[in-house]
Amino acid sequence: MKKRIGILTGGGDAPGLNGIIESVVRSLAGADFEVIGIEDGFEGVFESRTVSLTAASVAGVHQRAGTMLGSSNKSSTQGRVEEFQKKFAQLKLEGLIAVGGDGTFQSLSRVIQGLKIIGVPKTIDNDLAGTDVTFGFDTACAVVAESIDALRSTAEAHKRVFVVETMGRTAGWIALGGGLASYADAILIPERPFSRADLLAFLKKKQASGQRGFMLVASEGVAAENEMASIAFKVEGSHQKERYGGFSETLARWIEDETGWESRHMVLGHLQRARHPTTTDRFLTLNMGVEAAKMVREGDWNKAVVYRDGRVTRAPLQDLMKPARLVEPDHRWVKHAQELGIFI
Ligand code: F6P
């Protein structure tokens, strides 16, 4: 009799989720296992909504962003542990492959007793502990870099400053990675509160030099020294309720007022999660899916598939539940930016 393996995708989507699904299902296809997909993260467990996955039904999904199983960043096991365990038992699974971020793994940590789980870390923000990189991050950086490259043409045509706001919550990885890849003029990240006076002096120097356009990348959670980050609204029921936003608009107005350099802002928003995955993210998810399937075959449960020191490997599941991995203020990428004369 075939062993039944479940797979679910939880939290905000990230390009590469479909790659994990295709890779896991195709690797496990055969005589010993059947794979079922749980729909919409934990909601699918509570509501017993599943779909049978075969090598044929997943073929080709790796190239699409989003997740063919659906996801939810509001469903949680909080206050529903017994209900979860009962519903989960009804699925008659040998084990579960959970692809998610901090909210998903925190939710799982409440119900993990007696379950067999393999965790696969996911977030475009790149801030999960336990892994050197998360899939979706490279694709998000590609969106940022391509957008800055494109916007630079109109900035130069009109002699304007462009403030481009990226996602990332309290982590500046996307702004830093995308800003470096496009050689932006300034990169503002939450881990390095910036001095308004220093930024103005930098802008004025560039203006005086005759530079026509100026590209500034700002992570949504950034703030100037002694100021608070700009929270746009809160989502009740979400693992992290705050949604950051609005900083780029106020910064663009301030820059124009202070320097006279005409300024515009652009919020890249969910476009950073919606692009088809880059080749780097495809390789990463292919490798992670193959490894997760290998762990299933070996019965090596309650571990995570992570990327460390240049390769996909296994780690304790608990490693994914540690506090967020932020950019160290003197990280080597920060130093690269400084060496290039970028304001950071
Ligand atoms: O954590 C991923 C992320 O895309 C953040 O970068 C962003 O702040 C947030 O999710 C947006 O969440 P939502 O999809 O609820 O708007």
How does pLDDT run across 94-146, given as a tens digit for each residue? 999 999 998 899 889 888 888 999 999 999 999 999 999 999 999 999 999 99
CA 67, distance to chain mean position in Å, is 14
The pLDDT confidence band at residue 239, using thresholds 50, 70 and 90, is confident
Give the SS3 label for residue 134.
coil
DSSP conformational letter for 12: S
Atom of ligand 1 nearest to the CA of 220: 8
Q: What is the pLDDT, as a whole number, of residue 125? A: 98
Spatial separation of the C-alpha atoms in residues 142 and 279, rounded to whole Å? 11
Atom 16 (ligand 1) nearest CA: 243
Q: What local confidence, expressed as pLDDT, does residue 326 receive?
A: 98
List residues near ligand 1 (CB under 6 A). 12, 73, 123-125, 167-169, 220, 235, 243-244, 273
Asked if the domains at 3-136+277-321 and 138-274 fall in one CATH topology, the answer is yes
The CATH fold of domain 3-136+277-321: Rossmann fold (3.40.50)
> What is the value of pTM for the model shown?
0.97
Active site residue 32: no
* Phi, psi for residue 116 in degrees, rounded to 5: -110, 115
Residue pair 174/166 in contact by the 8 Å Cβ criterion:
yes
Distance from Cα 174 to the centre of ligand 1, integer Å = 12
Look up residue 8 and give its amino acid: L
Q: What is the CA radius of gyration of the chain?
A: 22
Ordered by start, the domain boundaries in the chain are 3-136+277-321, 138-274
| pLDDT at residue number 95 | 96
Length of the chain counted residue by residue: 344
Kindly list the distances between the CA atom of residue 237 and the CA atoms of 74, 78, 124, 190, 292, in Å, as whole numbers in the listed order. 5, 10, 21, 24, 30
Q: What is the pLDDT of residues 134-177, one digit of tens each?
A: 999 999 999 999 999 999 999 999 999 999 999 999 999 999 99
Q: Please say whether the beta carbons of 144 and 268 come within 8 A.
A: yes
Average pLDDT over residues 23-36: 94
Fold of the domain built from segment(s) 138-274: Rossmann fold (3.40.50)
Catalytic residue among 125, 127, 185, 319: 125
Would you say 11 and 74 are in contact if contact means Cβ atoms under 8 Å apart?
A: no
